[in-house]
């Protein structure tokens, strides 16, 4: 899912939705995030940053760090950064469970919309945004850039990513590994946004049991300003009483017939509440702001309300914080 070889057509509907998002969110919430400062240098940057392992097809060979490569016998590149106010990175979960949806859209579509919204909110002069994608057990990386043209290219690329075939063997990299990779490869302080359904391979019904992704997310939040966006579908919370139905697990491909009796509906709702409470408890322990977006609601309105409330909270804290004498 790397960068396309040629121009990627932009879906007119996505383009129109993004224009509405710019009007409805950015203009109302202007000044929420840091930014507005031009970098001291033009282009991608000139200050050397951390060296990391070379990713074929993703990294520019002209940035090869030959001294580190010679010492480790493994190709390494050295990132370059400019002196900018904010660098934001979004980790977007595109695993098989995100291809589900019974509301106005699939969870995957809402997640891509959240990716666009966050990047539009953080676009100021000199600010850059990048993304990591968890897709079919692998991590794909999109380099940090600025401008709407880069955002449209990013959305077109991620929108064209093929869905995970039903029943494809589960394996490879999970959300915990993707969080660890994000913290390791993007050490420069900034904003980190995680968009996922936060579902563990083994469902957790006990809020006291830590999630597999809890520790790396907590470590990520200690260095950066982090935000967790959870995407939920209504059918993950309760089931309608429609009798005998055939259900399929998108992750494993298993098929099972279930009679949705009142007892089954009640037990399912209880288990779903326990599972979501476990997710909320894990995010609280991480100290990460938590936004829930649903496929059956206007997610732009929910996002705007959340960000406005976050801004009010920040202003209240600023008023009650004693001034430090100079």
**Taking phi first (over 0 means left), then psi (-120 to 50 degrees means alpha), and beta for anything else, what does residue 35 get?**
left
Residue 112: what pLDDT? 92
Q: Where are the domains of the chain?
A: 44-83, 85-318
Q: Under CATH, which architecture does the 85-318 domain have?
A: 3-Layer(aba) Sandwich (3.40)
* 230 contacts 293 by C-beta, under 8 angstroms: yes
* 183 contacts 223 by C-beta, under 8 angstroms: yes
- Output DSSP code: residue 161: S
Residue 132: what pLDDT? 95
The tokens of 56 are what?
């074929």
Residue 124: what pLDDT? 66
Q: Residue 101 and residue 272: Cα distance in Å, rounded?
A: 16
Residue 101: what pLDDT? 85
Residue 254: what pLDDT? 81
The CA dihedral of 149, 304, 309, 94, to the nearest 10 degrees, is -70
The tokens of 35 are what?
């930014």
Q: Closest Cα partner for 66 from 84, 51, 48?
A: 51
Residue 34: what pLDDT? 41
Q: Residue 176 and residue 134: Cα distance in Å, rounded?
A: 10
* 266 contacts 239 by C-beta, under 8 angstroms: no
**128-135 and 87-93 strand pairing:** parallel
* 156 contacts 190 by C-beta, under 8 angstroms: no
Whole-model pTM: value is 0.74
Q: What angle do CA 252, 234, 101 make, to 5 degrees?
A: 50
Q: What is the pLDDT of residues 207-260, one digit of tens each?
A: 888 899 999 999 999 988 899 999 999 999 988 888 888 887 776 778 888 888
Q: What angle do CA 80, 82, 84 make, to 5 degrees?
A: 140
Residue 161: what pLDDT? 87
Residue 85: what pLDDT? 61
10-residue mean pLDDT series, the chain (326 residues): 41 54 45 39 50 85 89 86 70 91 88 88 75 91 87 87 72 88 89 92 80 94 92 91 81 81 91 92 93 91 82 67 47
């Amino acid at each position: 899912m790397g960068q396309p070889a040629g121009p990627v057509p932009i879906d007119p509907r996505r383009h129109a939705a993004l224009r509405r998002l710019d009007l409805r969110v950015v203009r109302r919430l202007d000044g929420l995030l840091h930014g507005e400062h031009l970098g001291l240098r033009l282009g991608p940057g000139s200050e050397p940053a951390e060296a990391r392992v070379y990713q074929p097809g993703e990294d520019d060979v002209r940035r090869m760090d030959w001294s580190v490569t010679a010492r480790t016998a493994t190709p390494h590149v050295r990132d370059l950064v400019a002196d900018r106010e904010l660098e934001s990175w979004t980790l977007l979960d595109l695993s098989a469970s995100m291809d589900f949806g019974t509301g106005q859209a699939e969870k995957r579509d809402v997640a891509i919309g959240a990716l666009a919204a966050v990047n539009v909110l953080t676009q100021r002069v000199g600010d850059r945004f990048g993304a990591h994608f968890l897709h079919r057990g692998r991590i794909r990386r999109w380099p940090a850039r600025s401008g709407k043209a880069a955002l449209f290219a990013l959305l077109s690329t991620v929108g064209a990513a093929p869905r995970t075939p039903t029943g494809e063997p589960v394996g490879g990299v999970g959300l915990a590994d993707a969080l660890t990779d994000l913290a390791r490869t993007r050490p420069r302080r900034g904003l980190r946004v995680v968009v996922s359904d936060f579902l563990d391979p083994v469902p957790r019904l006990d809020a006291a049991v830590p999630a597999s992704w809890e520790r790396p997310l907590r470590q990520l939040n200690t260095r950066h300003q982090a935000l967790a966006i959870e995407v939920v579908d209504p059918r993950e919370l309760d089931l309608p009483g429609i009798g005998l139905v055939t259900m399929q697990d998108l992750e494993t491909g298993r098929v099972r017939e279930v009679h949705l009796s009142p007892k089954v509906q009640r037990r399912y709702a209880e288990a779903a509440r326990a599972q979501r409470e476990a997710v909320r408890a894990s995010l609280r322990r991480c100290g990460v702001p938590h936004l829930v977006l649903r496929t059956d609601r206007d997610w732009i309105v929910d996002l705007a309300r959340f960000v406005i409330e976050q801004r009010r909270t920040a202003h209240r804290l600023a008023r009650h914080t004693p001034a430090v004498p100079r």
